[in-house]
Amino acid sequence: MKRSYDFSKGKRGAVVPIAPGKTRITIRLDNEILDWFRSQAEARGGGSYQTMINQALKEHVRLGGEALESTLRRIIREELGAPHSP
């Protein structure tokens, strides 16, 4: 380890640039929602639970306002392979 480092050309901010069309935000979600999405990502051998959350929200918007609860229940049923209940 060096005795000192030169940070005169260092830059502040995120190390990994944000992709165009994306915005970094802070959001508070229930632990059970995060746990579910994380477990789904892990069950698929990795990946990003954040991407999965983004996809679920996109699907909700695409369907034109289906009640969010209905959207999430449908997506969870599809992912778990559970039969549809009326």
Distances (CA, A) of 21 to 9, 17, 18, 33, 77: 28, 12, 8, 25, 30
pLDDT over 90 percentage in the chain: 34
Q: What is the pLDDT of residues 28-79, one digit of tens each?
A: 999 999 999 999 999 998 889 999 999 988 887 888 866 778 878 888 888 8
Q: What is the pLDDT of residues 8-22, one digit of tens each?
A: 888 877 777 888 998
All structural domains of the chain with their residue ranges: 31-79
At 28 the pLDDT is 93
Query: In this structure, how many other beta carbons lie within 10 angstroms of the beta carbon of residue 66?
Result: 14
pLDDT over 70 percentage in the chain: 91
Distance CA 60, CA 13 (A): 32
> How does DSSP classify residue 42?
H
At 83 the pLDDT is 61
Distance CA 56, CA 37 (A): 10
